[in-house]
Structure 1
Amino acid sequence: MRNIALFDLDHTLIPIDSDFEWGQFLCRVGAVDADEFARRNAEFFAQYQAGTLDPVEYLEFALGTLAQFPRSKLDELHQQFMQEVINPALLPAAYDLIKKHQDQGDLIAIITATNRFVTAPIAIALGVEHLMAAEPELDANGNITGKLLGVPSSGAGKVVHLQDWLLKQEVTQLRQLSDFTHSYFYSDSQNDIPLLERVSHPVATNPNAKLSAHAQAKGWPQLHLFDKQ
C-alpha cells in the first residue's frame, strides 16, 4: 500500500449535499419546525456554496438539532433517510471510481465537512471503511450533546484531520502525505483547495464554477462523474 485516495462526499461521490438533504428530510417528516429550520438550513447552504460559511456556527446549529432527539430515534430517522434520499443517489460512477482505487490496493478514505452521524452510514454503503468527518460529542449513553469535538473538518481543517488520522494508522512508515508514492484527492468545491494543494494528484470532481476556474489555472484534471448517469 503505497498510494492514498481521498474523497470528499457531497457533490463528489454523491450528486447531492447529504447535510442539506438531512435537514430537508427532518422538515418533511415533521421532526422539526419546518419553516424555521428550512430557513436557517437554506441560509447556511447558500453560505457554503459561496465559500462564506462559518463552520463552527453551522455545526453548532446542526449538532444542536441532533441533540434534541435520543439516539434510538435518530437512528430510526437515519434509516428512513438512507432509504428515501441517499440510496437513490448512490450511482454506479461513484462505485466504479472507488473500486478503481480499491483494485490498486490504495488506502482509501472519505473526508467530509458533514458530521459523522449523517455520513457514517453513507460511507458504509459506498464500501469505504475510513471516514473523517465533523465529530459530535456523545454522552455516556451515546446521545449527541450538541457540542463539536476538535476542529471542523472543512477547509484547512481537512488537512488537520487528515494529519491526525494518518498518525493513528497502523501503516508502517506512512504517516504523512509525502510518505505515499501517489496521493489523490477528489473534491467539488473551492473550499477544499487547502487539501487539494497538498496531494500529488488533485482532481476537481463535478467542480463548482470557482473550483473549475482554479483547476483550469493550475492544470488540474476535471472529472464530471455524473454527466452520463
Structure 2
Amino acid sequence: MTVNKIVLFDLDHTLIPLDSDYAWGEFTTALGWTDAELFKQKNQEFYEHYKAGTLDIHAYIRFATAAVIREGATKSIAAHADFMSAIIQKAIQPQALKLVRDHQAAGDVVVIVTATNAFVTRPIATAFGVEDLIAVDLVKDETPGGTGWYTGEIAGVPSFREGKVTRVNQWLTDRGWSWETVHTTFYSDSINDVPLMEKADVAVATNPDPRLRALAEQRGWRILELFS
C-alpha cells in the first residue's frame, strides 16, 4: 500500500519572514483605513499575546477584519492585490519557494495551515503554487438583503493552536485518509503550533521562536534556518 506523504507548512515567519496579517494591517493603515496610532497599539498588543501563546483568536479576528468589513469587498480585494505586489511578492524568498516545490516534485501533497484568515492568505498560498489552504475561515452575511461580505466572526473551528489538529484531521477525513494512513511532516516557527507538531510524524522547527527552539532541542526535532 502506498502511503501518501502530506507536508504541512505554517505560513507567517515559516514560509515568509513576516506576519502577513500584521503586515496587511500596517498596509491598510497606510491607506488611511484605520487610525494609525490606535491600530498600531492594538495590533502590537495582539501580536504580543500571539507570541506568548495567550491570543484570543475570536477577538483578534474581529479587530483584524474590521477595516475590510467597513471598506467593503471591491476596495478590499483591490487593496489586497496591491498588498501582494508591494509587500508579499518581495517577501517570498527563493529558498522558501524551492522548499515547497521540492516537496511537490517529490510527489508530496503540500498544505499551508495558518492561523491567519483566508482572505489575507489565499492569494499568498496561490503565489507559492499551493492549492490546499487551511486558514481561519470567515463568516459572510448571506442573509436576504445582507451585505454578502464578512461579518468579523469565524466560521467553524479556527486553525489556531489545537484547532490546527482538528482542521487537518477534517481535511484528511474529507479525502478518505487518516493520520494512520498518511505520513505527515509539519514545518513551523511558533510555540503555538506544538499541538500539530506533536501530532505529525516529523516536526521541523523552522526559523523557530525562542520557546520552540528550546523545545525542539529537547525533543530532537530538526531545526531549519530558512531565512538565515
Aligned residues: 222
User: Which TM-score applies when normalising by structure 1?
Assistant: 0.93
* Residue of structure 2 in register with 1:107 after alignment: 109
Specify every segment of 5 or more residues in structure 1 that has no aligned partner in the other structure, as ranges.
Answer: none
Contact map agreement 2:33 2:67 (CA 8 A) in 1: no
Aligned to 1:167: 173
1:28 aligns with 2:34: no
1:65-76 alignment runs, 5 A limit: 65-76=67-78
Alignment partners' CA distance in 2, 1:177 and 1:14: 27
Identical-pair percentage: 45
Residue type at the aligned position of 1:159: V
TM-score normalized with structure 2 length: 0.94
CA distance in 2, matches of 1:2, 1:136: 30
Counterpart Cα distance in 1 of 2:155 and 2:73? 18
Map Cα deviations across residues 135-155 of structure 1 (whole Å, 9 max, x no partner): 111134641121111122110
What's the offset of the Cα at 1:104? 1.1
Counterpart CA distance in 1 for 2:217 and 2:148 is: 45
Structure 2: gaps (5+ residues): none
Contact 1:8 1:187 in 2 (8 A): yes
Q: Is the 8 A contact 1:132 1:161 kept in 2?
A: yes
Compute the RMSD of aligned alpha carbons: 1.2
Match of 2:116, SS? strand
Q: Matched residues in 1 for 2:179 and 2:100: separation?
A: 19
1:154 aligns with 2:160: yes
3-state SS in 2 of match to 1:117: helix
Q: Deviations over 1:98-127 (max 9, x none)?
A: 111101111110000000000000000011
1:184 & 1:219 partners in 2: Cα distance? Answer: 15
Deviation at 1:63, TM superposition (A): 2.6
- Label 1:74 to 1:132 Cα distance change in 2 as closer, same or farther (>3 A): same
Residues 113, 134 of structure 2: 8 Å contact kept: yes
Residue by residue, what CA displacement relative to the aligned partner does 1:13-65 show, whole Å, maximum 9, x if unpaired?
00000011111111111111111111111110111112221112211222333
